[in-house]
Structure 1
Amino acid sequence: MASAPDPNRRSERARVAVLEAAIALCREVGFGQLTIEGIAERAGVSKKTIYRWWPSKGAVLLDAVSELVDRIARHGDTGDLAADMCAQLNTVVAMMNPQEMSPVAALASESQRDPALAAVIRERVILPSIAGFEDRMRSAQRAGQIPVDADLHVALDLFYGPIYHRLVYRLPLHTEEEIRTRVDHVIAGLRAMG
């Protein structure tokens, strides 16, 4: 005898379908053309289902990006600081690829016009990412890879600032080789300050 469908499981499937649809559509048409109707159609759910969980397309995309960042852009700790930072920075660059109308870049751009969205992005995506970065840097300090008194705020800006600079001015994003060079320079600079 078949059991009745679990409404929580069905809701989770719908939620995941909506988040995946939002990412895919944003990559295809950009944030400006992204609509709740389009997301609903792609996800195979009603607009009512989406509005039950999210107040706007920005909120849907924020949840989708937040889960994406949490899943693929975590800071690894293999014991090799340079390799770990290269891997993480390459992931960040790939997520911001302007060739595919990046949902991450779209949210960053939209947050410049919407202070409320910027505050939510800061709380849900940026601050947890910074905490992960600081944890990785503290591990490097304990391992003697960088000085214990290295300024982690400066390190954060040195590692990530060039990416956002290029993104803001629509310059080509860094290649893996360029990232490796910058990571080596930042680590050397942090060591020289000790």
Structure 2
Amino acid sequence: MSAAKPQPRRVHSGNRRDDAARLAVLHAADDLLVEHGFGALTVEAIARRAGVAKQTIYRWWPSKVEILLDTLIEDSEKRLPVPAGSPTADSIRGYVRGFARFVTRDPAGKVLLALLAEAQHDPGTAKSLHERFLGPRRVRERELLATGTEAGEIAPKLGPDATIDALLGPVVYCALTGASVPRGLVDTLCEDLLRPRAD
């Protein structure tokens, strides 16, 4: 009697399935937020749209805020990375322009605006938003300005945090109030804040 031919090892696809389900949840949360707003967004609706069990979502995320934060972190890394390497005045200006597009046109930018708004009256959201997104991004933005300053590309008139707030704050205000970012605003901000005035 011949020995049975060994069967090939079965490749477990659990991780792939988990990753597919995770991405489905992130996309569903993103889409539903844009369609219905933060207040109407529920874990039940996300589960239905993603085609996963509600228990699966709660196993991975404690709340819809954490789901939205994962969405924001992933999407911003792809679509709004903080420039690395040796920045120029133009690349910093390009980053601020990209930020303006992100918060006014990109669905992920809507997630950021929703979380900023929610953070105003929910300390838990504010804490998570700062710890997971705003804080780490601010570290890279400070490095961007420091490297540009050391290279002589820019000469900020304010400290790093005040400079970043002054560059991005007016853009966020426009987006939060539903106004378009005025043409030339980014150029004016960058020129006034990053370069010394001519004598």
* TM-score, length basis structure 2: 0.82
Q: Which residue of 2 aligns with 1:158?
A: 166
Which runs of at least 4 in structure 1 moved beyond 6 Å after TM superposition?
98-101
Alignment correspondent of 1:84: 91
Give the gaps of 5 or more residues in structure 1: none
Query: In the alignment, which residue of structure 1 is the partner of 2:54?
Result: 47
Q: Match for residue 121 of structure 1?
A: 129
Which residue does 2:180 correspond to in 1? 173
- Return the TM-score normalized by structure 1: 0.84
Counterpart residue number, 1:146: 154
Which 10-residue stretch deviates more, 154-163 or 18-27?
Answer: 154-163
- The match for 1:136 is 144
Residues 1:76 and 1:157: Cα distance change in structure 2 (over 3 Å): same
8 Å CA contact 2:89–2:154 kept in 1: the answer is no
| Residue of structure 1 aligned with 2:43, choices 20, 33, 36 | 36
Structure 1 counterpart of 2:4: none
Residues 66-75 or 48-57, more deviating: 66-75
Q: Give the SS at the match of 1:96.
A: helix
Alignment map for 1:94-105 (pairs within 5 Å)? 94-97=101-104, 102-105=110-113
Bigger shift: residues 84-93 or 101-110? 84-93
Task: Classify 1:176/1:3 alpha carbon distance in 2 versus 1 (closer, same or farther; 3 Å).
Answer: farther
Corresponding residue to 2:192 among 162, 185, 194:
185
Q: Which residue of 1 aligns with 2:10?
A: 3
Moved more, 96-105 or 26-35: 96-105
Structure 2 residue matching 1:102: 3-state secondary structure: helix
Q: Could you list the runs of 5+ residues in structure 2 that have no partner in the other structure?
A: 1-7
Q: How big is the alpha-carbon RMSD for the aligned residues of Structure 1 and Structure 2?
A: 2.7
User: Corresponding residue for 1:111?
Assistant: 119
Residue 85 (structure 1) shift: 2.5
Q: 1:9 to 1:154 in 2, by over 3 A?
A: same
Cα offsets for 1:109-148 (capped at 9, x unmatched): 1111110110110011111111111111111122112349
Deviates most, 56-65 or 119-128: 56-65
Q: 1:52 and 1:149 mapped to 2: Cα distance?
A: 48
- How many residues are paired up? 190
In structure 2, relative to structure 1, the CA distance for the partners of 1:176 and 1:79 (3 Å cut) is farther
User: Is 1:19–1:61's contact at 8 Å kept on the other side of the alignment?
Assistant: yes
Distance 1:99 1:3 in 2: 41
Corresponding residue for residue 24 of structure 1? 31
SS at match of 1:31: coil
Are 2:60 and 1:60 aligned? no
Give the SS at the match of 1:138.
helix
CA distance in 2, matches of 1:72, 1:92: 9
Kindly state the Cα deviation for residue 176 of structure 1 after the two structures are TM-superposed. 5.7
Q: Tell me which structure has the larger Cα radius of gyration.
A: 2
